[in-house]
Amino acid sequence: MTKIMSWNVDGLGTLTKKGFFDLLQKEKPAIICLQETKHNEDRVAKLLKSLTDEYHLDCISSRREDISGYSGVATLSRLKPTRTSTTFGSNQFDKEGRILMSEFPEFILYNCYFPTGVADPKYQKMKRVFYKECAESIRNTLASGKEIILCGDFNTARDERDVAEALRKRVGPGFLPEDREDIEKFFILGLIDAFRKDHDEAGHYTWWSSADFKNKAWGWRIDYFLVSPGLEDRIQTCTHFDKIGKDDHCPVILELEDPE
C-alpha cells in the first residue's frame, strides 16, 4: 500500500500545533506533499529536519521581492524521485514557489499550490493562466504514456457539492463560472477525483474560513487528489482528516494498492 498525504499547512511554523507529527506517526505516509510553507528553503529544511532520516526532501519557495512569508511547496518521500521540476515551462510562475513535480517509477506527482485569485482581477487572471499551464503540462505528460497524480490546494470548488449550502449564494473567487471551467480542464483530460470514487454526496470539506464556520460545517472542498485513469483501479481510499487542526485546511490522504 502506498500512502500519499497532501496538506496546505498555512505556514510550517504552526505544524506542531496542528498535530502534524502525530498524524505522520499514525499514518506513516510514503509521500508527504505540503503547500503554503511560507519559508525559504533553508528554513523549510530546518523545520523538517527531524524527518530527513526517513524522507528525502524537495522544496521550492517564493522568490518574490515584494512579499515575504508567501506560498511555497515541499515534498517529502521515502523513495528519492528520479527527477524533479519546479516549472511548467513558461517561467511565469518560477518566482511564485507553487510547483513541484516529482518523477517516481510508477507515476509523476504534481504538488501544486494554485493561486487564490481573491486579491484583485489581475490575480484572478494569474490563476486562470496557472490552471491553463498546469493542464497543458499534464496533457503532455499523459501523452508520454506516464501516469499522473495531481494534488494540492486548488483554491477552487468543482461543483455545488463542494461548497456548504449556506455559503453558495455569497461565494466569489473559487466558485466563479470561470473557476469551475478551469478545474474542469483536468477532468476533460481524463483525470479522476479520487475522493469522489467512494463519496458522491455533498457535505465533505477540506477548508473553512474560521473555526466558527468549521463548527457549523460551513466549508469548501478545494484540496484534491486527481489521478490518471491507469491508477483508478489502485485507489483504495481517499480520506479527509477534518478533525486535525482547529480550522483552515485539513490534510487529505490517498491510499493506492501496490501494483501486482
Per-residue pLDDT reduced to its tens digit, 100-133: 999 999 999 999 999 998 767 888 999 999 999 9
Tell me which CATH homologous superfamily contains domain 2-256.
Endonuclease/exonuclease/phosphatase (3.60.10.10)
What would the grid cell of residue 257 be?
A: 494498492
Degrees to nearest 5, angle at CA 28 with 24 and 31? 90
Kindly indicate the confidence band of residue 70, based on its pLDDT and cuts at 50, 70 and 90.
confident
Q: How far, CA to CA in Å, does 159 sit from each of 4, 67, 165, 249?
A: 24, 32, 11, 18
pLDDT at 120: 73
Block residue for cell numbers 498535530: 19
pLDDT at 246 over 70: no
pLDDT at 66 over 70: no
Per-residue pLDDT reduced to its tens digit, 71-100: 999 999 999 999 999 999 888 888 899 999
The residue extents of the domains of the chain are: 2-256
- Which value, to the nearest 10 degrees, does the dihedral of the CA atoms of residues 63, 64, 65, 66 take? -160
Residues with Cβ within 8 Å of 106's Cβ and at least 6 positions away in sequence, in order, are: 147, 259
pLDDT at 67: 65
What is the average pLDDT score of the chain? 93
- Alpha-carbon distance of 234 to 1, in angstroms, equals 9
- Alpha-carbon distance of 74 to 32, in angstroms, equals 8
Kindly indicate the confidence band of residue 40, based on its pLDDT and cuts at 50, 70 and 90.
very high
Query: Which residues are the active-site residues?
Result: 153
Block residue for cell numbers 466558527: 212
